[in-house]
Structure 1
Amino acid sequence: MFVSHSSFCRLPLAFLLCFLLLCTGVCHAQVNSNQSQTDTTKQSLNTRIIENLKEISKRKTIMGKLLNALLDFDRVDEEVFGLDAELIQKEYEKHNYKIVRNIDILTLDAFGYSINDTSRAPKTFLEKAGNSLHVKTGRGLIRNKLLFEKDEPLEPLALVESERLLRQTRHLLDARILINEETTTDDSVDVFVVTKDIFSLGGSGSYSPSSGRGRVTLRELNFLGQGHLIEGSYKFNLDRPRPWEAAGYYTIENIGKTYISADAAYVDENYYKEKSLNLRRDFFSLNTKYAGAVGASWIEERILLPSSPQDTVPRYATANYTRQDLWLGRSLKFKTYNLGYEPKGRVILGARVINTNYTTVPTENFQDNTLMLGSVGYSIRKYYKDRFIFGFGRTEDIPVGTLFSVTGGYQEGSLTDRKYFSASFAFAKYKPHFGYLYSKAGYGSYIRDDRWEQGVLDVETMYITRLAEWGNWKLRHYLLGRATLGIDRNPEELLSIDNENGLRGFRSELVRGTRRATFNYEANLYTPLSLLGFRLATFMFADVAWLSTGNQSSPFKEAPYRSYGIGFRFRNEYLSFSTIQITLSYYPKLPANDNLRDFRIYESSATHYDLRDFRFTRPDVAAFY
């Protein structure tokens, strides 16, 4: 068995908890033997496990003391109000266009406070100590996120959209915006805003004793309470040409109240180096009229070349280039003569210019070029609220709607010129009793001398079932199917099935192709157990991936690669740490010329699934990776 990225002490804790859960059956038998024969009440699974663990924790044994120190049996989930965003919108419709008289903002520290019960305060030493190390978000930063202002009319959707924007802020756990109904008049309202921070200072790390490889990452999501992101990472003892790699990122979010953000990145890795600066403004809300970005980057990357069946090591070539990128977008909404009614549909126009200059080219298929793109799209988007989609109980925004776009362009190159065309369509629906369904299809290709080249057809469907509940135990199923088909691609343009591209935990530089199809299934069980303040979820999964190497061949003609496994996830919603995930995977089929193991235990913080927003983004070339 191969152990990789065993994240410090995480593996022992995970397997300890697994052992404790397995012991509950034995403990249950011991407890039942002492019960009266007349007690015929059937306990639920949740009650049996919790009561048995409590029984063990009360004993004065080593196991009892360990359980009492590690597990929290008294954690109570907060009741969450208003999970249906549509109902909230209808509730507040009566306040549209009233004058905002006062805006009261309350920001809460990370530990011991409740966003639904503002009278709650920290009680324990750990809660108070944690808050003392944290700089609370400034009220001015919260005010800059609001889409309404004092002494101005309250626009439709302003309350719901402002709450969503606050909740999606990296350093905030949750947010509520309420109308004070007691002071409301026919023409004015008072608004109360309450937010709760997460502990923004965090990091992660991993270390493999067998190889000596490791990684350390430190991040601050809310530097001095001003919303600045600072992150740095360092990898060491790598089995690559150079034994170390480093990266650093800095982001200033929402400068002033312009919703313009600034990003700077420095990446120094073996196969990829980047220095970049970027200013951007997204279509952050339904009513945003203008969006755009301007940026420059200096990049050096090693391009993986096609391999033959006899290759035992991957072959690379180097590309050095600079890139300048500029785009601008304009959103247009339909006129309405119904005061207070806000149409959800938007027509979006976008234009983009990308200038790329190479100093080193890996093959003859790379050239200096200027790519000009224009697009038109139609977007309908709205949001629902739910819990236990990917979080462990926090409020999550579920995007649904429709997005259609058509993009055309012209590439002026140093060797040859060509046109570009792409189109895409996506939709999603969500109902608490049905679940979440998302589908997308897109096609894009360059056109040179009436010949279509470097084309890609991309389709995706994801379904997340409704939440099944047994007491405090909650279960969801996730199904994801994707296909990416390259059409007349260049030989060095290759797809992988590594990790999020196909099989989780799989890594091989020799398994590459031009057409790929994948299917992923996962069952995620959220438990009521808490380990050192981290909520626990268990999951099992099955991944299948098909890959072919010819531009005309079907991926389904080849035998698929597969992975099966089980794992644990730990998450503390009050901390900035990523979800800790420990996984045991089995791979029945592996390439014969690669040094891989069929069993693997590894730690990861990346999620395999994500919700797609229906926000219109910059015009772009269809992705092929």
Structure 2
Amino acid sequence: MYKKIKLILFLLFICVSQITNAQETETKKDSSNLYLNIKNYSKKNKFTKLMHKIVFRTPVLKKEITKEVQKKYGIFEGKIIRNITILTLDPFGYSEIDTLKKPKNWAERNGNKIHIKTNRLTIRNLLLIKKNKPFDSLLVKESERLIRTQRFINRVDIAPKLIPNSPDSVDIAIRVLDSWSLVPKGSLSSSRVSFGLNDRNFLGSGHQFENKIRNRFSDGKSAYSVAYSIPNIKNTFINTKVSYQIDLEEYYGKSIAIDRPFYSPLTKWAGGIYVDQQFRKDTLPDSNLVFAYQNFKYNTHDFWVGRAFKIFKGNTESERTTNLVTTGRFLHLKYLESPVFEYDPDDFYSNEKLALVGIGISSRKFIRDRFIFRNGIIEDVPIGRIYGITTGYQYKNNVGRYYLGGRAAFGNFYKWGFLSANIEIGTFFEKATTKQTAFSFQANYFTNLISIGRWKLRQFVKPQLVIGSNRMEAIGDQLSINENYGLNGFTIAKYGTEKALLTLQTQAYAPWDLWGFRLNPYLNYSVALLGNAKSGLIESKVYSKIGIGFIINNDYLVFSSFQISISYYPSIPGYGEHIFKTNSFETTDFGFQDFELAKPRTVIFK
């Protein structure tokens, strides 16, 4: 345990060093004089001086390709918005910037004919700017980013224009390029058939309609899955999703989710309601490690609310996007059917009531960049900091206990690339004893963009460390390195309380495409260790994977990227040595960490 404490302290030291040593090169948007005024203001009392030191860190944008995509709105600031015009464009052959570009061939023209363009009202409901209000560059940038986050939107450009003979006014033109939103999916084998149809922009409304049906030939049984989502109700940014699914064995799930996130750093109120019932089966081991299927049937009621308070009185972007955030949550989990005692002696899968409150400081902004997870399309990279504390009370198995956790995170551009890191630690207290303690560290790094002729490259690095103490023996309270929890394509019937992962990926971006499809080659190396209380990580066997392949995406379609690859596994226990696998599945990228303090939770331990 002493070694674990030293390791945790060392990682905390590294994180704090990164935070305190980050460079403070001024961006082009804020003038140096303005920044000095902020700094001078912060010196008026000890609290604002401390907040200034903790929060304000300016990104270092070294590469020209990063600098050139940053928009400048200085000449429009404060002018009255006279008109806002919105033009939505079909996905094929058009451009959000080039007004002269038109569809050139038969396929583009006919593809557009059967596409339903996004309704202008759908786009207007995503805007934070209003007609007859002063032009606010931060609200304009946030409006453009919010439009870009919609899966049915490919690209967007918000262009303000000065008005001749009206120096105090400005017109705003918004051009939105749609993605093709109707995506069929299907499969056929000797035993079953399945077909699905997803519409990410139902009738141009921005609503999402997902449907899937499967049929088994042997007994004629069918499985269904349907979900309908409304991502934004009349500019409130309240999204609602209703879903229902039933599988071939008549296990089912049904849920209703109503949620308003902190969709922008300027958001004051957030909250959500989630209600569901799940009936499923899964395998659990008994004391002899013999696995058997067990039923799980439970109801979930989850409620939360959050309020953000602006800390500083100034009007700079850094001051406006730094908030004190308070949140509260109540979770009620009720089991109607649970595993029998032989497979759950600790009664881990049981009724639970959990109340949590959180408080912290969040500072987040977004930097526009290209060639990270998409080809040449603008991506909004979140930068910022989080310092938060979560506390609460749990009642489970007729025992009440308190919870305390903390979180610190940062992300920014530096001369040598982009780095973000997240550290969390939390534990339950039963009298004077800590229970189900968890420590989590994760970082994401990618280099500046490297150009080799017409090709472009980035190197990605993603380390992760999770350590648990006094965890329960149930699989649900143990760590895994299987599939999405560690190594894709890797499965092992082994669980633990400590794991370390390291993923390295060299990603190339192709200069060409075919009908919008881009095949971007990559080389991936992943290594994982899984330990427990008896044998720590240092004594654990190293499992690894080397993969090479293509990530395939399409600029015009809404479906997720998928990859075709061949992977080599030196060893997979239970399967053998020197194993090669070909994979073809939807892929998730390394992802951005959004510096949002939202619904309070315990440290994730999976």
TM-score bracket relative to the smaller structure: 0.7 to 0.9
Q: 1:218 corresponds to which residue? A: 197
* Structure 1, gaps ≥5 residues long: 1-80
1:177 lines up with 2:158 in the alignment: yes
Q: 1:260 corresponds to which residue? A: 238
Q: Which amino acid aligns with 1:459?
A: F
Task: Determine the C-alpha separation between the residues in 1 that align with 2:318 and 2:478.
Answer: 49
Task: Determine the C-alpha separation between the residues in 2 that align with 1:238 and 1:537.
Answer: 38
CA offsets per residue over residues 134-188 of structure 1, 9 Å max, x none?
1000111111100011112334511110000011111000111111034484432
Task: Determine the C-alpha separation between the residues in 1 that align with 2:385 and 2:317.
Answer: 23
Q: 1:578 corresponds to which residue? A: 560
1:280 lines up with 2:259 in the alignment: yes
Among 417, 433, 448, which residue is 1:466 paired with? 448
Q: 1:430 corresponds to which residue? A: 413
* Structure 2, gaps ≥5 residues long: 1-63
Q: 1:517 corresponds to which residue? A: 500
Contact 1:567 1:582 in 2 (8 A): yes
Contact 1:351 1:375 in 2 (8 A): yes
- Counting matched residue pairs gives 534
CA offsets per residue over residues 504-554 of structure 1, 9 Å max, x none?
22234x132222111111111122233454112111111111112x33542
Q: 1:232 corresponds to which residue? A: 211
Among 202, 219, 223, which residue is 2:183 paired with? 202
- Matched residue SS, 1:129: helix
Q: 1:610 corresponds to which residue? A: 591
Offset of residue 230 of structure 1:
1.2
- Matched residue SS, 1:315: strand
Offset of residue 354 of structure 1:
1.0
Q: 1:26 corresponds to which residue? A: none
Offset of residue 265 of structure 1:
2.0
Among 511, 519, 522, which residue is 1:539 paired with? 522
Q: 1:328 corresponds to which residue? A: 305
Task: Determine the C-alpha separation between the residues in 2 that align with 1:378 and 1:115.
Answer: 37
CA offsets per residue over residues 185-242 of structure 1, 9 Å max, x none?
44322111111100001134456x7x86776443110000000111234567799x99
Offset of residue 425 of structure 1:
1.0
User: What TM-score results when the alignment is normalised by the length of structure 1?
Assistant: 0.80
Contact 1:84 1:384 in 2 (8 A): no
Task: Determine the C-alpha separation between the residues in 2 that align with 1:189 and 1:294.
Answer: 40
Q: 1:383 corresponds to which residue? A: 366
Q: 1:502 corresponds to which residue? A: 486
Task: Determine the C-alpha separation between the residues in 1 that align with 2:118 and 2:165.
Answer: 28
1:449 lines up with 2:423 in the alignment: no
Offset of residue 108 of structure 1:
0.8
Task: Determine the C-alpha separation between the residues in 2 that align with 1:242 and 1:586.
Answer: 39
Distance change (3 Å), C-alpha of 1:327 and 1:85: farther
Task: Determine the C-alpha separation between the residues in 2 that align with 1:360 and 1:602.
Answer: 36
Task: Determine the C-alpha separation between the residues in 2 that align with 1:339 and 1:539.
Answer: 40
1:295 lines up with 2:274 in the alignment: yes
Q: 2:386 corresponds to which residue? A: 403
Contact 2:516 2:556 in 1 (8 A): no
Q: 2:464 corresponds to which residue? A: 482
- Matched residue SS, 1:575: coil
Offset of residue 119 of structure 1:
1.9
Contact 2:70 2:368 in 1 (8 A): no
- Matched residue SS, 2:510: strand
Q: 1:357 corresponds to which residue? A: 334
Distance change (3 Å), C-alpha of 1:289 and 1:139: same
Offset of residue 399 of structure 1:
0.8
Contact 1:289 1:332 in 2 (8 A): yes
Distance change (3 Å), C-alpha of 1:246 and 1:480: farther
Q: Which amino acid aligns with 1:224?
A: L
Task: Determine the C-alpha separation between the residues in 2 that align with 1:244 and 1:551.
Answer: 45
Among 280, 285, 295, which residue is 1:318 paired with? 295
Contact 2:311 2:319 in 1 (8 A): no
Distance change (3 Å), C-alpha of 1:290 and 1:317: same
Distance change (3 Å), C-alpha of 1:608 and 1:559: farther
1:164 lines up with 2:164 in the alignment: no
Q: Which amino acid aligns with 1:465?
A: T
Distance change (3 Å), C-alpha of 1:586 and 1:143: same
Contact 1:306 1:491 in 2 (8 A): no
Q: 1:555 corresponds to which residue? A: 537
Offset of residue 280 of structure 1:
0.6
Distance change (3 Å), C-alpha of 1:335 and 1:98: farther
Contact 2:338 2:350 in 1 (8 A): yes
Distance change (3 Å), C-alpha of 1:623 and 1:237: farther
Judge which range, 336-345 or 576-585, deviates more: 336-345
Among 358, 377, 384, which residue is 1:394 paired with? 377
1:343 lines up with 2:326 in the alignment: no
Distance change (3 Å), C-alpha of 1:452 and 1:257: same
Task: Determine the C-alpha separation between the residues in 1 that align with 2:472 and 2:307.
Answer: 34
Offset of residue 272 of structure 1:
7.2
Q: Which amino acid aligns with 2:365?
A: K
Distance change (3 Å), C-alpha of 1:306 and 1:198: same
Task: Determine the C-alpha separation between the residues in 2 that align with 1:206 and 1:253.
Answer: 29
Distance change (3 Å), C-alpha of 1:414 and 1:511: closer
Distance change (3 Å), C-alpha of 1:425 and 1:302: farther
- Matched residue SS, 2:330: strand
Q: Which amino acid aligns with 1:247?
A: S
Distance change (3 Å), C-alpha of 1:291 and 1:216: same
Distance change (3 Å), C-alpha of 1:378 and 1:85: farther
Task: Determine the C-alpha separation between the residues in 2 that align with 1:610 and 1:337.
Answer: 32
Distance change (3 Å), C-alpha of 1:234 and 1:562: farther
Q: 1:57 corresponds to which residue? A: none
Distance change (3 Å), C-alpha of 1:456 and 1:349: same
Higher RCO (CA 8 Å, separation ≥ 6 residues): 1
Q: Which amino acid aligns with 2:442?
A: E
Residue identity over aligned pairs, in percent, reads 33
Task: Determine the C-alpha separation between the residues in 2 that align with 1:273 and 1:502.
Answer: 27
Distance change (3 Å), C-alpha of 1:533 and 1:148: closer
Task: Determine the C-alpha separation between the residues in 2 that align with 1:275 and 1:129.
Answer: 38
Q: Which amino acid aligns with 1:165?
A: L
Task: Determine the C-alpha separation between the residues in 2 that align with 1:389 and 1:116.
Answer: 21
- Matched residue SS, 1:285: coil
Contact 1:183 1:190 in 2 (8 A): no
Task: Determine the C-alpha separation between the residues in 1 that align with 2:438 and 2:175.
Answer: 46
- Matched residue SS, 2:143: helix
Task: Determine the C-alpha separation between the residues in 2 that align with 1:511 and 1:242.
Answer: 36
Q: 2:226 corresponds to which residue? A: 248
Q: Summarize the alignment of residues 54-93 of structure 1 with structure 2, pairs less than 5 Å apart.
A: 84=67, 87-88=70-71, 91-93=72-74
